[in-house]
Amino acid sequence: MKYKITLFILFIPQLIFTQNPGTDTLSLLFMGDIMGHDSQIHAAYNAKDTSYNYDTYFTHLKGIIDDADFTVANLELTLAGPPFKGYPKFSSPDALAYSIKKAGIDILTTANNHSCDRGKEGLLRTIKVLDSLGIKHTGTFKDTADKKLNHPLFVEKNGFKIAFLNYTYGTNGLRVPPPASVNYIRWKKIKQDIKKAREAKPDQIIVLFHWGKQYESHPNDGQKKLFNYCKNLGANIVIGSHPHVLQKMEWNKKDNKESLVAYSLGNFISNQRKRKRDGGAMVKITLTKTDSTVSISDAGYFLTWVHKPIKNKKYKFTILPASKFERQYPDSLNKTSSAKMKLFIKDSRKLLNKENLNFPEYQYNDSLKVWDNKNVRSGKKILNN
């Protein structure tokens, strides 16, 4: 017996050493638009103590978020303080940012068409709240000094250094109040910014655009040209938001010209309930570093649907990972809601199965309790959600 125990102890280090010599990985999870409509504000309000709480948004996503090294979302609202209001000039309670932090979302993009909804004070206060919570962000800046210091946004983990750049097509005609600034889509400026990012020698440059036409399920020529422009400059991962519906995703695996684009991730959370607008997708990308070479080793998406059940005579909002709940429903998912979710799933799969390139859906295996896609069929990614 002693001989067997000794042999087993000696064998374990050899097994660990030979699994993936010289290899490291970093996983990135991207979400779509975080909106703050009036009904969402009302649903989060607790009249007993006049507080707000948004934790229910993320109840069913814990395992997926926890499994990623960095999680990124588009904050399409301001944290300007009261009066709290939804469309057309958004200001949500700070409690939303607290719940975002608590859920494990690491980075927020803030350059979008609602960045200037509440003027200078709203833009600056949004930055102040995110900074106070330690949530990294990019796209809007307090002043020139802030932008010079924090643009591009660099993050580091697992031996990887990633650069993030964020731009918007506009701000609904509202003027950016000086000295604050918002990153607009300006081709020459983007070129300069990518060059600046490359000088810092990151392992990957990721550009996040607020672009395209609202409610259009197909990227337009402008989106395609801008993606190719970034790719040719050395930023070969591009993630898009703004259309509020899903658009195709492509992972081009060509040697030395590898690139990935998700043109629109749709709505992560909102009160938009019309067909195709009541959900979105989370894109997960895994980067692998072997010696000095970094490449994309996996890419896939999770379909998500915004559920709006009534609890104690009041609406609540929660985001359902659709594949997990299309066969086993939570108690709050009645026949009508189930039909709406199934329609969203059907529409989304019809579009993405036809138009995606090397970009499958992560689907939930009920018996094994794992999420898998066609790129990774390992059965190893057991998520606690």
CATH code assigned at 311:
3.60.21
Question: Strand 237-241 relative to strand 204-210: parallel, antiparallel, unpaired?
Answer: parallel
96 in Cβ contact with 36 (< 8 Å): yes
Place of tokens 């429903």: 329
DSSP for 43-92 reads HHEETTTTEE--GGGGTTTHHHHHT-SEEEEEE-S----SSPB-TTS-B-
At residue 372, the pLDDT reads 85
pLDDT exceeds cutoff 80 at 7: no
Q: How confident is the model at residue 378 (pLDDT cuts 50, 70, 90)?
A: very low
For 317, how many CA atoms within 13 A lie in the half-sphere containing its CB? 30
Residue 382 lies in a domain: no
How high does pLDDT run on average in the chain? 91
Total domains, the chain: 1
Residue 115 lies in a domain: yes
Question: Strand 259-262 relative to strand 237-241: parallel, antiparallel, unpaired?
Answer: parallel
Residue 321 lies in a domain: yes
Q: Any bridge partners for residue 279, and if so which?
A: 305
Residue 68 lies in a domain: yes
User: Which residue range is the domain that position 88 belongs to?
Assistant: 22-372
Q: Any bridge partners for residue 320, and if so which?
A: 305
* Two tokens, residue 18: 């030979």
Residue 199 burial class via C-beta count within 10 angstroms: exposed 0-12, middle 13-18, buried 19 and up: exposed
207 in Cβ contact with 235 (< 8 Å): yes
Residue 8 lies in a domain: no
At residue 1, the pLDDT reads 41
384 in Cβ contact with 62 (< 8 Å): yes
At residue 23, the pLDDT reads 59
Residue 278 lies in a domain: yes
Give the DSSP H or E segment for 363. Answer: strand 363-365
Q: What is the DSSP letter of 139?
A: S
pLDDT exceeds cutoff 80 at 374: no
Q: Looking at residues 69-84, what average pLDDT do you find?
A: 98
Of 126, 267, 36, 90, the closest CA to residue 138 belongs to 126
pLDDT exceeds cutoff 60 at 101: yes
> Is the entire prediction scored with pTM above 0.75?
yes
pLDDT exceeds cutoff 50 at 14: no
Q: What is the dihedral of CA 88, 94, 100, 106, to 10 degrees?
A: 100
Residue 7 lies in a domain: no
For 142-189, the pLDDT digits (tens) are 999 999 999 999 999 999 999 999 999 999 999 999 999 999 999 999
Q: Looking at residues 282-308, what average pLDDT do you find?
A: 95
Q: What is the DSSP letter of 320?
A: E
pLDDT exceeds cutoff 70 at 32: yes
Residue 189 lies in a domain: yes
With a pLDDT cut of 90, the percent of the chain lying above it is: 82
For 47-61, the pLDDT digits (tens) are 999 999 999 999 999
